[in-house]
C-alpha cells in the first residue's frame, strides 16, 4: 500500500508517493504554472529517468489528473492500480478555530474549510480545489487534511491573543495561529531523538527558514509561541514578506499613496522582505550580490539575521533557562551557512556557541548535523524537515483509525532507529564526496 500526499498552492501542486510497508519514497514531483498559458510537470521516481513536460492545466483538476496518470505510467510510474493507494494526505494552510488536528475529508469538512478562506485567501482556495479534484479522481480512497496551524494549538492564551479589542477575537477569530506546523512538529520530535531525551522533556527553538520563515518555541515537547500570526505575514524578514512592522505604517502609506487594502496586502506579502530591500529573494543571489559590494543586499542579510537572533533570544526566556537546542531547518536553514552564522552571532549569551568550521562544512540536506562547539551548553542542530512524512503518517493513521492529536500520538520518526531511506542513499554519496560530514552527524552512522 502507498500513501499519496498533495500540497496544492495557488499555482502549483507538489506530490509524494510513499511505500508504507517498506518505509520508502517511491516518487516525488511538482506541477507548476497552474492556470497560466501553459503548465509544467517535474516527476522523479526511484530508479527511473526524470520526466519533464509542458501541458495545459487551467485548474488543479487537470494537474491532479496528470499526476495520477504519471503514477500509473508504464515507463515513469510507480503503481499499477489506483487501488494500491491506501490514503491521500492534503496539506491545508489554515484550520482557524474549527480544526485543531488532522481529520478525514467529508463534504462537511470541505464546507467548514470554505468558511476559513478569509483567514487565508491566497492559499485556502487552492488547498480546497486540490482536495475536491483528488476526491473526484479517487472517490473511494480515504483522504485527510493536515493543518499547518494544528501544531500550534498548545500555545497559552497570553501567546496567541493580540492586545486589540477582545471582540475582534470573539467575532472575527483574530488571534495568533502560527504556520509551518508540520515542519515544526517533525523537527521538535527529531530534536528529542538527537538529544537522547523524551519528547516531553525537550526544550528547543526551531527556525524554519525558507522563502517563508517562522520561529517556534517548544517547551516540554509542545509549542508555546511562534512568530507567525493570524496569517503567515508576521514575524521574520522573509523572501517577499515584511514580517514585523509598525502597524501605523499601513494607514500612513495608504494615505500618502492612495493604495487600496488589497494593494497594501500585495505589497507586504509579495513586494517586501528581501525583494523589497534588494530586489532578490533567493538567498544565493542575495549573498552573491552582497559579496560583490551591493549595499542593499548586505543590508537585507543583516536585517534577516538580526530579526532571527532577536526571536531566538526572546524565545529562550520563555523556556525558563532550560533551552536544549536551536534547530535550523527548511531550504535556507539547511543550506544557507551565512544565515546560520549571522543568526548565531551573540547567542553565546544564552549558552549557544556556533562552531564556524562545522557550520561551513554543513552544506547538505541529507543528514542531521550538530554545528555547535563541543563545549556549547545549548546545542545548535541542522535537521532537514520532512513535512510530507508527517502528512503521510497522519493520513495512514486516520485511514486506519489509530490517529490522535500529536501530544498523544507516536510517529515512526520518533524512534532513534528511524532511517529515511531516500536521504540515507543521498547521504552516503555525500559522505564519499565530503568525508568530513561524518564528523558532525548528530546521530553517527
For the annotated catalytic residues, the residue numbers are: 148
Read off the C-alpha cell for 57: 492545466
Alpha carbon distance 326, 216 (integer Å): 10
Read off the C-alpha cell for 188: 521538535
Is 135 annotated as a binding-site member? no
Is 173 annotated as a binding-site member? no
Is 284 annotated as a binding-site member? yes
Alpha carbon distance 404, 189 (integer Å): 16
- Scored b (16 or more CB within 10 A) or e, 5-19 reads bbbbbebbbbbbbbb
Is 210 annotated as a binding-site member? yes
Is 212 annotated as a binding-site member? yes
CB 109 within 8 A of CB 90: no
Sequential DSSP letters for 106-164: -HHHHHHHHHTGGGSTTTHHHHHHHHHHHHHH-TTS-EEEEETTGGGGG--HHHH--SS
Alpha carbon distance 204, 206 (integer Å): 6
Cα–Cα distances (Å) from 377 to 137, 311, 323, 349, 351, in that order, read: 53, 19, 9, 11, 5
Is 14 annotated as a binding-site member? yes
Is 243 annotated as a binding-site member? no
DSSP SS3 for 218: strand
Is 258 annotated as a binding-site member? no
Alpha carbon distance 78, 266 (integer Å): 40
- In the annotated binding site for ATP, the residues are 14, 208-212, 282-284
Which residues are annotated as part of the binding site for Mg(2+)?
7, 387
**Which residues sit in the known binding site for substrate?**
91
Summarize the annotated binding site as residue ranges.
7, 14, 91, 208-212, 282-284, 387
Amino acid at each position: 500500500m502507498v500513501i499519496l500526499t498533495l500540497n496544492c498552492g495557488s499555482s502549483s501542486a507538489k506530490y509524494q508517493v510513499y511505500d508504507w510497508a517498506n518505509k520508502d519514497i517511491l516518487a516525488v514531483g511538482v506541477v507548476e504554472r497552474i492556470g497560466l498559458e501553459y503548465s509544467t510537470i517535474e516527476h522523479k521516481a526511484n530508479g527511473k529517468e526524470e520526466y519533464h513536460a509542458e501541458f495545459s492545466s487551467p485548474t488543479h483538476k487537470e494537474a491532479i489528473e496528470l499526476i495520477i496518470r504519471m503514477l500509473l505510467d508504464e515507463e515513469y510510474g510507480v503503481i499499477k492500480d489506483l487501488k494500491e493507494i491506501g490514503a491521500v494526505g492534503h496539506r491545508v494552510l489554515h484550520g482557524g478555530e474549527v480544526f485543531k488536528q488532522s481529520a478525514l475529508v467529508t463534504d462537511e469538512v470541505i464546507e467548514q474549510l470554505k468558511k476559513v478562506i478569509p483567514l487565508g485567501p491566497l492559499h485556502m482556495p487552492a488547498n480546497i480545489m486540490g482536495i475536491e479534484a483528488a476526491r473526484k479522481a479517487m472517490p473511494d480512497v480515504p483522504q485527510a487534511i493536515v493543518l499547518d496551524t494544528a501544531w500550534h494549538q498548545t500555545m497559552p492564551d497570553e501567546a496567541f491573543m493580540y492586545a486589540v479589542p477582545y471582540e475582534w477575537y470573539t467575532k472575527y477569530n483574530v488571534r495568533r495561529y502560527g504556520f509551518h506546523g508540520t515542519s515544526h512538529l517533525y523537527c521538535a520530535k527529531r530534536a528529542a531523538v538527537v538529544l537522547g531525551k523524551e519528547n516531553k522533556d525537550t526544550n528547543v527553538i526551531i527556525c524554519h527558514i525558507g522563502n517563508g520563515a517562522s520561529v517556534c518555541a517548544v517547551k516540554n515537547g509542545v509549542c508555546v509561541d511562534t512568530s507567525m500570526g493570524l496569517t503567515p505575514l508576521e514575524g521574520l524578514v522573509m523572501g517577499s514578506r515584511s514580517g514585523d512592522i509598525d502597524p501605523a505604517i499601513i494607514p500612513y502609506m495608504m494615505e500618502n499613496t492612495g493604495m487600496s487594502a488589497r494593494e497594501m496586502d500585495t505589497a507586504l506579502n509579495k513586494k517586501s522582505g528581501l525583494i523589497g530591500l534588494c530586489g532578490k529573494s533567493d538567498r544565493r543571489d542575495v549573498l552573491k550580490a552582497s559579496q560583490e559590494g551591493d549595499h542593499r543586499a548586505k543590508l537585507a542579510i543583516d536585517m534577516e539575521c538580526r530579526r532571527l537572533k532577536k526571536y531566538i533570544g526572546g524565545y529562550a526566556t520563555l523556556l525558563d533557562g532550560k533551552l536544549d537546542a536551536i534547530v535550523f531547518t527548511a531550504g535556507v536553514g539547511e543550506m544557507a551557512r551565512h544565515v546560520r552564522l549571522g543568526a548565531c552571532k551573540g547567542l553565546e549569551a544564552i549558552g549557544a556557541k556556533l562552531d564556524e568550521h562545522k557550520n561551513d562544512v554543513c552544506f547538505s540536506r541529507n543528514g542531521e548535523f550538530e554545528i555547535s562547539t563541543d563545549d556549547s551548553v545549548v546545542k545548535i542542530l541542522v535537521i532537514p524537515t520532512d513535512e510530507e512524512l508527517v502528512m503521510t503518517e497522519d493520513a495512514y493513521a486516520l485511514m486506519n483509525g489509530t490517529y490522535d492529536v500529536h501530544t498523544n500520538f507516536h510517529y515512526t520518526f520518533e524512534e532513534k532507529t528511524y532511517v529515511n531511506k531516500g536521504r540515507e542513499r543521498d547521504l552516503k554519496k555525500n559522505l564519499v564526496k565530503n568525508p568530513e560530514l561524518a564528523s558532525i552527524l548528530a546521530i553517527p552512522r
